[in-house]
Structures are given as C-alpha cells and as structure tokens.
Amino acid sequence: MSVVVVGIQWGDEGKGKIVDLLTEKADVVVRFQGGNNAGHTLVVKGKKFIFHLIPSGILHKDKVCMIANGVVVDPLVLIEEMEALEREGIIVTPNRFKISSRAHLILPYHRYLDQARESQTGKVIGTTGRGIGPAYEDKVARRGIRMADFMDPEIFTRKARENFERANILMTHYLKKEPMTDDVLEVLNDKIRERLRPFIADTSSILHRLSKEGKSILFEGAQGAMLDVDHGTYPYVTSSNTVTGNVSCGAGIGPTSIRVVTGVLKAYTTRVGGGPFPTELHGKIGQALRDKGAEYGSTTGRPRRCGWFDAVAVRYAVRVNGVTSIALTKLDVLDNLSELQICTEYRLDGKPVEDFPPRAKSLEHVIPSYKRMKGWQQDITQCRRWDELPSATKDYVSFIENAVGVPIDIISVGAGREETIIRRHPFLKE
C-alpha cells in the first residue's frame, strides 16, 4: 500500500511530524520533489531534528529512506545532513538510504545565480537562494547534471564546465554581477563523489520491486500545493510540482499504486516570501500566532506571514491533490484566542468568486468572508483522544472538516511526536 503526504497550504504545514508518525506503519519513505529549500522540523523526546533532504523516516532504525529522481540535490548539503545525524548516533548506511541516480544536482553556480536574481530590484519572489530554481531550469533545458553523471569524473567535469561558463555569461551580461571564479567547481571533488557513491541506485526499480513484495511505501513532498509551479499562486511559487500527481513522475512509480493521499494543513494559515495572502493578519493576532507557533523558517529563519484559516484555498488544494484524508496541525497555537475566524468565501468586485483565481493580481484584491467562532482558551496539549478536546475545539475542527469536504483523521496538539490525536490511521484505511 502507498500513502502520499502533501502540504495543502503554502508549505510549513508540519509535514515532517506527520511523516514521522506514519513511518511507524511504513517500510519505505520516499522524498519525490523539491530540494533543500524545504525544511522538516521534528521534536522527538524533547530533541529537535531539522531535515532538508533526507526523509525524516531515517529516525526509525528499521526503515528504508530514498531521495527519488524528482528531487534536486546539493551534495554538500546532503553530506552535512548525513554527518549531523551521525553526530546524534543515527548512522546513515547504504542499506537504509538510497539516492536516485537520475536525481539532478544543485551546483555552486546555481546558488550564485539564484541569489543574484533575487537581489534584483523589483524581481523579488521570496526564494531561499539555495539554487533550486536554476537547477530545475537546467534540468528542463536538458543540460542538467544527474547523480549518474557525477559518478563519472570525466562526464561531470565536461558538463559542469560548459554550464559554469553559460552561468557566468548570465551573471555578467544580464544580472550585472561580478563573474564567478573557477574555484566554485572545485568543491565537488573526488572525496565528495566517493562519499556518496555507495548510496546511488535506481530507486524506481527498487520501489517497483518493494511494491510487488507488498511493502508499505510513504511518499513525502516538500513545500505546499499553493506553491506548485502549475497550480500554485504563480509566479510566487517554487520551481517544481508539489502536488500528488508528481509522485509518479518524481519517483518513477505508476499512479495506480497510490491508495491514500493525506493532506497536511495548519489550523491557521502561513506563507513565506512574496505573493498574495487573502487572510493575512498584520496586527497583534498575527504576531501572536507567529510567536506561539514559532513561525520562523527552518531553512532560512525568515518570519512567516500568518493569517486565519482559508477554506477556499484548501478546497482548491484538496481538489488538485485528490486528498482523501487530512492531518490538522498546530491546533494548540490557537489555545489563547477568544475568537477565531475561518474564511469560507472570496468576493471580488462585490461578487462571489466560484473558483480559486488563477491570477495573483486577482487574489491580491479578493475580500474574504469569514465565519466567526468561539475560542476554547485552554491548554489542549495533553489531549490524546477526540473526546478529551473542549467542545469549542471540536466545533472548530468539525467546521473545517465540513468546509473542505475531507475527514480530519489526525490532529496535532503540540510539537512532540506523542502530542497527537489519531482518529483513523491512513495506512489502515483499506
């Protein structure tokens, strides 16, 4: 059986914790898109772990984790992450961790290009500057360098040199920046290559075999559906497809193998960087959500913009992802508020908006219509069953469930692994 975990807001929904929870019932955990522009934060027995590339399932000793072909990989960041885990006593071995030979590399010149573009006046999208966009550009332009290429020093050197020279033309003639020096290529040397070589594999073939053997496979995405390059708030999006449909392309498995899609969403809404945000709160309540929810990016440390729950955006994300189950996170962040609001509808030019607008400009001008609800104003972090929640909390959760049309199977009431209410387990739904 295969379960997909996807974010269905603007990212940072708490996917890492949900993946960690579901890994207990999985045999394999697979990351299928994105790069180290995403960060999954987990708190296990009071200890914080932050993952950027390696699936968070690596914390479970008997699980196999994979980085599939749809991910763009910065080898230096990957090795840093492996070494950080090893310092905590978690040894990353080739029998437990695989990297697709078809995954594309992020090289130093990708990062320089990304940062140079983001610094241009009037061109700010809000990227992390980690080189993800330029790496995907090279992939689509058929000049990308894959892990299989990196394993061959001659092929890698030739391709990297050609791409480096092309990137320098962009830097100097278009972006008006100083040229990059040759030493940016020297960091990816034989030592790095040999460190990663034992982990490189045909992950698609392995997944096919494991699926035939009846193994349970958990696919995890990065970012959120509203940042999808096709279906998100374009152009304020990431450079890959974050939605469920990309599991097949990004991992090399057939769509018929997917049984359950668990959409992860917060009990309120956040986003990082530029772009429209209809329910954004600019005053004390927004700051209170940011402070109590620790809404600062695990990758960049940037403060997240915070707002009320947006059922319109979530309904759209549910539809394009085929969500069958919801995990609601950070419900405890709302504990101290006396009144809560949920956006149920947009209005534009005085008229209801039937579908989620495709243009960012339209989204910037919509007026949200809200359902006001009573807060519960008590600590829910000790609740472990649905019937232990205050009645106002259950009313809030039930309203969201009805507003988006999908059952809420998991409720997170705190950062810790144990601070969770599981009403129905996604791996046991069949």
Predicted local distance difference test score (pLDDT) of residue 298: 64
User: What's CA 296's distance to the chain center, in Å?
Assistant: 15
Per-residue pLDDT tens for 44-94?
777 777 888 998 888 888 899 999 999 999 999 999 999 989 988 888 999
Task: From 303, 305, 302, 300, select the one nearest 277 (Cα to Cα).
Answer: 305
Q: Provide the pLDDT for residue 275.
A: 92
Q: Long-range contacts made by residues 193-196, C-beta under 8 angstroms, separation at least 24?
A: 193/150, 193/151, 193/153, 193/156, 195/79, 196/75, 196/78, 196/79, 196/99, 196/147, 196/150
Position 430 pLDDT exceeds 60 = no
Residue 204 pLDDT > 70: yes
Output DSSP code: residue 314: H
pLDDT tens digits along 28-42: 999 999 998 766 677
Return the pLDDT at 185. 77
How many angstroms separate the CA atoms of 31 and 163, rounded?
Answer: 27
Catalytic status, residue 60: no
349 flagged as catalytic: no
> What is the C-alpha radius of gyration for the chain, rounded to an integer number of angstroms?
22
Average pLDDT over residues 133-139: 94
Q: What does the pLDDT average to over 246-255? A: 94
Give pLDDT, residue 94: 95
- What's the distance, Cα to Cα, between the start and end of the chain in Å? 9
Model confidence band, residue 213 (pLDDT cutoffs 50, 70, 90): very high
Task: Average the pLDDT over 290-298 and give the result.
Answer: 87
Of 25, 101, 90, nearest in space to 51 by CA:
90
At 329, is the secondary structure helix, strand, or coil? strand
Average pLDDT of 153-174? Answer: 89
Determine which one of 12, 20, 149, 310 is catalytic. 12
Mean pLDDT of 366-390: 97
Reference 40, options 368, 314, 298, 311; nearest CA is 298
Cis peptide before 235 (omega within 30 of 0): yes
Q: Measured between alpha carbons, how far is 231 from 226 in angstroms, rounded to an integer?
A: 7
The active-site residue, picked from 20, 40, 74, 228, is 40
Residues 19-28 have a mean pLDDT of 91
Cβ proximity of 153 and 193 under 8 Å? yes
Q: Are strands 2-7 and 269-271 parallel, antiparallel or unpaired?
A: unpaired
